[in-house]
Structure 1
Amino acid sequence: MSFNRCARIHHRAFLSITGPHSTQFLHGILSTGPPQSSPRGGFFTAFLHAQGRVLYDAFVYRHPSNDDGYLIEFDSRPSQAPPLLSLLKRYILRSKVKITDVSDEWDVWAAWGDGNNNEVSDRKWRWSRSGAVEPLWESEEWPWGGVEDRLLIRDRRAYGMGRRRVISKGLKPPESANHDVVSYADYTLHRVERCIPEGIDDITPLQAFPMESNLDIMGGLDFRKGCYVGQELTVRVYHTGIIRKRIYPIILEHINAAGVESNNITALSPGMDIITVQSGESREVARPRPSGKLLTTVGNRGLALLRMEQVEGPNRSSFSLNTDKSWRLTPFRPSHWPPPENPTS
């Protein structure tokens, strides 16, 4: 039985960046890449604010018709972040680059399953004393792909994520011939189950910090490539700070008035406060101060920003929603994350 799936990803926009200075221009803005020498391919990255908070998480592809150019894929929904096109134009100065909105030309699809496994053993991890981690790629091959097929990326944010492909607007990808075409909700569940935050609901612009949003684990931060916007605070946290929160996958349960647990749950609104619940002598006592934020949910699965000590510490907490104590939230550490013990600088 095949479990191959593909789905069009909603809420995505595209910018084209061309010109002889394109690589150097992006190198000074993005939190990773682009590669300065061959092999050159696509990659996952982020745009940060000068104070180190996230503006956009993004994918960068090689331009389909320009050897010096790139396509940038990002969340198109309005947010507190400035529009990406106007933001990038501020940085052009004397750089020989041209930036164009080409969102009406392209769609992006994800494909995953038996035929899209990227479960390779070329990844090790480097720890910092702050708790930040870096994936280390041992293979000489560009880990994200996109070298020969410019508009195809191996989604290395987590094991099993599959591939991501940009195609002309309104068309279906070649994977649709031997994959089941499923809904955007199926893709969302696929990434949520692998603890992959994506877009403004999970990585709140101008509020989210990159390591708390797991950008380091997902390969979206480079702590050694030199100066870029937001780099100073990010590297300072890496070397001297302590990461106290992260986004975790959660299982949701609702206990109705009859005391019956239910997993038949409709999506909840992102941004709801999460509180810890301690066992009292005769009843459960909820702490009034929020302990985290609920992010994307699909059915009884979701993502939440929580304090690490309350999820993985010796005295693990129980969690509920501040607005309705009948919700039970159970977070867990993803199996593909690097082992937490013995971090070294």
Structure 2
Amino acid sequence: MPPATVQTLLRRAPTVAPVANRALLSVSGSDSNVFLNGVLSTQARVPQFTSFLHAQGRILYDAFIYNDPEPSNSNGPAYIVEYSPPPEGSTDIPPLLSYLKRHVLRSKVKVRDASDRYDIWASWGGDADKSWETPRAWSWARSGCVEPAWGEELHPWGTEAGVIRDRRGVGLGRRFLVQKGDKPKEASTHDLVQPEDYLLHRVLQGIPEGNVDIPPMQALPMDSNLDIMGGVDFRKGCYVGQELTVRTYHTGVIRKRIHPVYIHKSDPSLGPFILPSPFTPGLDVKPISEGERKGPRPRGTGKLLSTTTQGVGLALLRLEHALAARAGELRLEVTEPSTGEVYRVTPWAPSWWPAPEEAPAE
């Protein structure tokens, strides 16, 4: 658990915020469900959280799939795909629109940009944002892969068009599409805040999102917690990137995961340090042995991902480093390149995360 000072950063009042840096595509037509089922890492049961993988099993895009609230034609089902577009100037990451069009072939499917139709908003803290939450149960594999077990819930992500119950974590709330330029009806009952407040909200819940936290063509699904967030189906039939993903589930070992962290200068119990500006993503997080730590010298480094000025963020860490840092046997450090200042990085496990002791014995 994080120190009490981190807990105070949580907004518990009903809150609504626009979600920045995301784009939308429309996928429609009589074959659209079958088409999506062949390229998604989950079954095409909309709405839901999912991902598009590269043939080698690395992540291209994490995504939400909505039922289109206003389909432009009635020729089959119509869906809206929400994702983070590639960083500007990137040439080696296939744009999702062209990637999907390449897979259409003779399918009766139309894929079009829809970013001019809707804005994306998130709400949390209100009754409608949490009344559907149920206690989280988990299904473990010996590799360390973990999946949410929905039990008899047929539609864990909801059923309403244009709305998703954000089940990637506990307490995230809902996510929905709103006509371009409009505000959601929740703006009259919830505190209206900025995209930066939503970033803080999901960081505090330990949820990575988009190309900063999940670098396209680099990140692996389980390293990025897609399994924990319900974004991978290990029993599904053939889809792009399936072979390596399923092999990891059955015979691999998960050695890294994204963790929420707080950044500070001294005693970890004092909590995070207010930063003048967010850190540059991708900075190395280096492990340093504390005192007379037994065992071999710690190997490898982590990577700092999204950070906020409140001194909290996300980092991709080796599991052994995260456990040792939480036990006080290791400290993790990052150097701010513009000033040369060294900060400590302390991970924690959100209360809703699957507990390691629940994992099956070797």
Check whether TM > 0.5.
yes
Match among 30, 54, 60 for residue 59 of structure 2: 54
Letter in 1 for 2:183: K
Match among 138, 156, 162 for residue 151 of structure 2: 138
1:3 aligns to 2:10 (yes or no): no
Post-superposition Cα deviations, 1:200-251, rounded to whole Å, max 9, x if no partner, equal: 1000101100000000000000001111000110000000000000000001
1:207 aligns to 2:238 (yes or no): no
For residues 206-285 of structure 1, the aligned pairs below 5 Å read 206-254=217-265, 263-265=273-275, 266-279=277-290
Aligned to 1:304: 315
For residues 65-214 of structure 1, the aligned pairs below 5 Å read 65=71, 66=74, 68-78=77-87, 79=90, 80-115=92-127, 116-117=129-130, 120-121=133-134, 123-145=136-158, 147=159, 149-214=160-225
Aligned to 1:12: 22
Structure 1 distance, partners of 2:358, 2:86, is 40
Contact 2:126 2:190 in 1 (8 A): no
Q: 1:118 to 1:156 in 2, by over 3 A?
A: farther
Contact 2:289 2:329 in 1 (8 A): no
Residue 77 of structure 1: how far off its partner (Å): 4.1
Residue 289 of structure 1: how far off its partner (Å): 6.8
Q: Which runs of 5+ in 1 are unaligned?
A: 36-40, 282-286
Contact 1:291 1:306 in 2 (8 A): yes
Contact 1:153 1:164 in 2 (8 A): yes
Letter in 1 for 2:208: P
Contact 1:33 1:43 in 2 (8 A): no
Residue 326 of structure 1: how far off its partner (Å): 2.4
Residue 325 of structure 1: how far off its partner (Å): 5.8
Letter in 1 for 2:122: A
Residue 288 of structure 1: how far off its partner (Å): 10
1:344 aligns to 2:344 (yes or no): no
Deviates more, 1:235-244 or 1:133-142: 133-142
Post-superposition Cα deviations, 1:177-204, rounded to whole Å, max 9, x if no partner, equal: 1011101110000000001000010001
Q: 1:111 to 1:342 in 2, by over 3 A?
A: closer
Q: 1:18 to 1:318 in 2, by over 3 A?
A: same
CA RMSD of aligned residues (A): 2.3
Residue 139 of structure 1: how far off its partner (Å): 3.3
Aligned to 1:292: 302
Contact 1:130 1:242 in 2 (8 A): yes
Q: 1:197 to 1:5 in 2, by over 3 A?
A: same
Identity %: 50
Match among 311, 334, 344 for residue 321 of structure 1: 334
Aligned to 1:284: none
Residue 60 of structure 1: how far off its partner (Å): 0.2
Deviates more, 1:329-338 or 1:202-211: 329-338
Letter in 2 for 1:101: D
Aligned to 2:5: none
Structure 2 distance, partners of 1:238, 1:2, is 36
Contact 2:15 2:124 in 1 (8 A): yes
Structure 1 distance, partners of 2:59, 2:17, is 26
Letter in 2 for 1:190: H
Q: 1:306 to 1:85 in 2, by over 3 A?
A: same
Letter in 1 for 2:347: P
Post-superposition Cα deviations, 1:20-40, rounded to whole Å, max 9, x if no partner, equal: 1100000010011212xxxxx
Structure 1 distance, partners of 2:187, 2:202, is 19
3-state SS of paired residue (1:153)? strand
Post-superposition Cα deviations, 1:284-303, rounded to whole Å, max 9, x if no partner, equal: xxx89751000000121000
Letter in 2 for 1:167: V
Residue 342 of structure 1: how far off its partner (Å): 4.3
3-state SS of paired residue (1:44)? strand
Q: Which runs of 5+ in 2 are unaligned?
A: 1-10
Structure 2 distance, partners of 1:182, 1:268, is 22
Structure 2 distance, partners of 1:9, 1:161, is 13
Structure 2 distance, partners of 1:301, 1:27, is 36
